[in-house]
Structures are given as C-alpha cells and as structure tokens.
Amino acid sequence: MLPLSLNREFAFTVSDVGRMLRTYADHRASQFGITRAQWAVLVRLDRFEGLKQSELAEMLDLQPISLTRLLDRLCNGGLIERRSDPTDRRAKRLFLMPAARPLLEQLGELGEDMMTIALVGVSRETVERMVAQLAIVKENLRQAIQQKNAGTHAAGSRYG
C-alpha cells in the first residue's frame, strides 16, 4: 500500500466532493424536469448569452454531439433558441427564451439550498478561504494544461 500523501488525499477528496455534488444536483434538478447537464447549459447561457455552440461545448467540456442533444431538448422545451451568427453562416448562437428566466430563479434558489445543506458545520470564513485556495489550484491547473497544449502544438508543428 502506498504511504499516505496529503496531496493525493486532497485530489481524492476534491474529486469525491465534485462527484457527490453532481449526483445530488441531478437528483434535485429532476424535480423541475431537467438534468444537471441542462441546468449547466442554462446557467452558462444566463452568464454568457449569445455564445456559439462550439464555445459552450468547450466551456462545459462536452463533445459537440452531446451538447447538440442537450440543446435540442432545451429548444423543444421552449427554454433556449438558436440564432444564426451574423458573421459566420455555419455557426449558431444560443439565447435564453423568456420561459427560462423563472426556471433559472428557481434553480438559483435550489443551488443555494443544496450548498447550505452541503456546508452545514463549515463557517463562512472557512468557505471564503477554501474558495480562494481552490481558485489558486484551478489557476495552477489551467496554466499546466495551457503549457501542455502549447507544447503539443509546437511539437506537432515541427512535422506539419
């Protein structure tokens, strides 16, 4: 058995918490007849309305075909609409429909309720510190991924 590593325990705990939050969010979102993935799409469009489908897929780390199915369901439900991009006739931009606004309000309240339950016994100051520290970890990982991708592109360009 490997010796206990605080770094590995941190990684496992963050991963477990994320998985459990996703499971709980799926359960709670079902009361509104949507999935966690649909909820994520609606929230991103609320923050960044007018995104291209490709931009949203990248933001959510989804394959374009998976996102297309999600968007089809949300369009059929009258929650979002696709509009042609005025500068790129191949692209579609995504916008919320008026029916999405009340649902987003309810989902916002649901998210607050979920996190209130998840954070029982954790002080506000501790949450603030954890958010600040996790932002540093996130930035470190973003930079590491960016450097890896830059190295991959540079290596590929030597042969292309």
Domain ranges within the chain, ordered by starting residue: 24-119, 121-160
Q: Which CATH class is domain 24-119?
A: mainly alpha
Considering only CA atoms, which of 55, 61, 44 is closest in space to residue 142? Answer: 61
pTM of the model: 0.78
Query: Which residues have a Cβ under 8 Å from the Cβ of 154 and sit 6 or more positions away?
Result: none
> Going residue by residue through the chain (160 aa), what tens digit of pLDDT does each one get?
777 899 999 999 999 999 999 999 999 999 999 999 999 999 999 999 999 998 999 999 899 888 999 999 999 999 999 999 888 888 889 999 999 999 999 999 999 999 999 999 999 999 999 999 999 999 999 999 998 888 766 555 443 3
